[in-house]
Amino acid sequence: MQSKWNRREFLKTASTATLGALAAGAPVAGLLSSCSSSSDKNKKLLESDTVKQRLANSTADTVILLWMAGGMAHTDTFDPKQYTPFEKGLDSNRVLSTFKAVPTVLDGVNFSEGLESIGKVMDKGTLIRSYVAADLGHILHSRHQYHWHTCYEPPQSVAAPHMGAWIAKELGAKNPVIPAFIDIGQRLTLGEGEELKAFHTSGFLGNEFGPFMIPDPTTGLDSVKPPVGMSYKRFEKRNELYNKLISESAFGEFGSDYQKESLRRAMEQSYMLLNSPEAKAFDLSTEPKESYDIYNTGKFGLGCLLARRLTEKGARFISVTTEYVPFMGWDTHENGHTRLKDMKKEIDAPVAQLIKDLERTGHLDRTLVILASEFSRDMMLEGRPGAEVKHQVDQPTIINDIKNYGMHRHFTDGCSILMFGGGIQKGHVYGKTADERPCKTIEKPIKIDQVHQSIYHALGIPEDAHAIVEERPFYTTPDGVAKPVMELFGKKEVKADAGEEVKEA
C-alpha cells in the first residue's frame, strides 16, 4: 500500500484546524468541512474551504468561450492545407483550402488568409489542431453543439447541464452581483431554437445556475438596468416601497423559511446588480471610441468587447457566439469561400484585441479564453473517414460556379481549438492533421471530455466533480474518468492512477 499522506493534504488540514484540532488530526478537519459543505449560497460558497482550495490550485478563475457556431472548417481557418484558387472546371477532389496560407508570429505555423490579427497573438496561447468530434451518425448541428457544451450525447435521461452551469455551481459567481454564467449573442427564437434551449440550461442543477442570456450585446445594458422608461430614482423608490411593504406585511406573522428567504435574497441581489457600478460594464457606449471601433465588426465583435468588460469586473463564465442560425454564419452549405471572408473579418480583429486587452490589463493570466466550434467542414467528406454519413450537400465533381467553391460538408475528424491565458502554454501547437485528404487528426487526438477536464483543471475543479441526481452520481464528464491534457499547461501528463497530480513541470 502506497502512502497517500502528502504535504498538500497535511497543509489543507492544518489550514483549517487550530493547534488543538490538529492534535486530533484528520477527523476534526473532516468535521469542519462537512459543516461548510451545507452552504448553498454564493457568498458561503466563495468563502468555503472547498472553493478556496480549488482556486488555490487553479490557474484561471474566469472562462470566456468564443463559440464559432455552425462548424468552422479547419483547413480554411487555423489549419490551412494546399491552396487551390478558384477557376472554372476545377476538380473538387483537389481542393483542400480555398485561401492562401499566411504566416503567424510562430515559426512554421500558418493560418488561413484573413486571420492575420489572431496570428499575431498566437505567442500568447496554444493552438490545438487535433480536436475530434463525436460520431453521432447523421450530422445535426444542435446535437453536436449539445455534446460540446454539456459533454453528454443527446438525448439523456436527465437534463444535462451546460459547462457554464457546472462552473457556476462548483465555483459560484466571482463577483456576487455578476451572474456566474453569461451567454452573449444567441437568440433562442430562430431555427432549431428548441434544440438550442436543450443545452442552454443548467439542467438538473437547478435554475439558479442557468445562463443569463444577453441575445444582443448592444442592448446588454437593458438586462441590468431598471426597466425601459424607469429612472434610477424611481427604481430606487420602488424598491424602498417593496421593502417597507414586506416589513409591514401581515405575512411577518408566519416567520421565515427558506422560500421566503430565498425570494428576499434574490430580490436584494437583483437590486444590487441593477444598482451596482458593475452594471456599467454592460454599457458598451462608455467604451472609448477607438477601442469600440476595433471590436465593432458586428454582434460577435461587440460580444467580445462585452465579455472583456465583464471579465474586468469579475465574471466567472461567459460564452460569446457568432450565433447559430441554420445555414448562416459558419454553417456554409454553399458559397463557403465567399462567406468565410466575412466570417473571418467578423472574428479576426475582436478576438485578437480581446487577448491583447486582457493581457494589457493583467487579466489574461487568470482568464482562460477558448475559441471552438462543434466540428469542422470539408469539401468532400461528410462525417469522418470510415464512418461517412449521408451527404447533406451535393458537391459537383467539377466546379464551375463559385458558389460551389468552399467547405460545405460536415467533417468531424479534425478541428481546431484556440486557447489563451489562464495557465495555458504560450506559443504552443498541440496535435496535427494530415496534409492530404482526408485532413484528419493524425497526432494527439483530443476529445470533448478532455477539453472539458482541461478547462475544469484550469479552474481547480476536480475531475470527479459531480452531482447526485435521482440517487446516482452524474459527473461533469461521463463517469468522471477523463483527464485534463496537461501538456496544454506545459506540464507532464498525469499518470493514470497516481494519487497526486504533477504540480510543476
Residues 10-39 contacting other proteins, CB under 8 A? 10, 19-20, 22-27, 30-31, 33-35, 37-38
Residues 381-420 contacting other proteins, CB under 8 A? none
Out of 116, 216, 222, 359, name the contact with other proteins by CB under 8 A: 222
Out of 15, 93, 249, 286, name the contact with other proteins by CB under 8 A: 249
Out of 226, 303, 423, 460, name the contact with other proteins by CB under 8 A: 226
Q: By CB under 8 A, tell whether 267 contacts other proteins.
A: yes
- List CB contacts of 283: < 8 A, sequence separation 6 or more: 220, 221
Nearer to other proteins, 96 or 318 (CB): 318
Residues 120-139 contacting other proteins, CB under 8 A? 135-139
Q: By CB under 8 A, tell whether 213 contacts other proteins.
A: yes
Cell (9 digits) for 54: 480549488
* Count of CB atoms situated within 10 Å of the CB of 329: 21
The long-range contacts involving 79-84, CB below 8 angstroms and separated by at least 24 positions, are 79/129, 79/414, 79/416, 79/433, 79/439, 80/110, 80/111, 80/112, 81/435, 81/436, 81/439, 82/435
Nearer to other proteins, 183 or 487 (CB): 183
Residue range at the interface with other proteins (CB under 8 A); choices 58-66, 205-213, 310-318, 352-360: 205-213
Q: By CB under 8 A, tell whether 101 contacts other proteins.
A: no
Nearer to other proteins, 116 or 236 (CB): 236
Q: By CB under 8 A, tell whether 234 contacts other proteins.
A: yes
Q: How far is the CB of 493 from other proteins (least distance, A)?
A: 22
Residues 170-189 contacting other proteins, CB under 8 A? 179
Q: By CB under 8 A, tell whether 4 contacts other proteins.
A: yes
Which DSSP state fits 494?
P
Q: Report the Cα 229 to chain-centroid distance in Å.
A: 34
**By C-alpha distance, which of 132, 188, 168, 203 is closest to 385?**
132
Q: How far is the CB of 470 from other proteins (least distance, A)?
A: 5
Which amino acid, residue 259?
Q
Q: By CB under 8 A, tell whether 496 contacts other proteins.
A: no
Q: By CB under 8 A, tell whether 255 contacts other proteins.
A: yes
* Residue pair 477/455 in contact by the 8 Å Cβ criterion: no
Q: By CB under 8 A, tell whether 6 contacts other proteins.
A: yes
The single residue listed with the C-alpha cell 470510415 is: 386
Q: How far is the CB of 216 from other proteins (least distance, A)?
A: 12
Handedness of CA 151, 155, 157, 162 (dihedral sign): positive
Nearer to other proteins, 265 or 341 (CB): 265
- For residue 24, the number of C-alpha atoms closer than 13 Å in the C-beta half-sphere is 11
- For residue 215, the number of C-alpha atoms closer than 13 Å in the C-beta half-sphere is 9
Q: How far is the CB of 275 from other proteins (least distance, A)?
A: 11
Which amino acid, residue 475?
Y
Residue range at the interface with other proteins (CB under 8 A); choices 95-103, 220-228, 285-293, 429-437: 220-228
Size (the chain), residues: 505
Q: By CB under 8 A, tell whether 494 contacts other proteins.
A: no
Handedness of CA 168, 171, 172, 178 (dihedral sign): negative
Q: By CB under 8 A, tell whether 345 contacts other proteins.
A: no
Cell (9 digits) for 23: 492534535
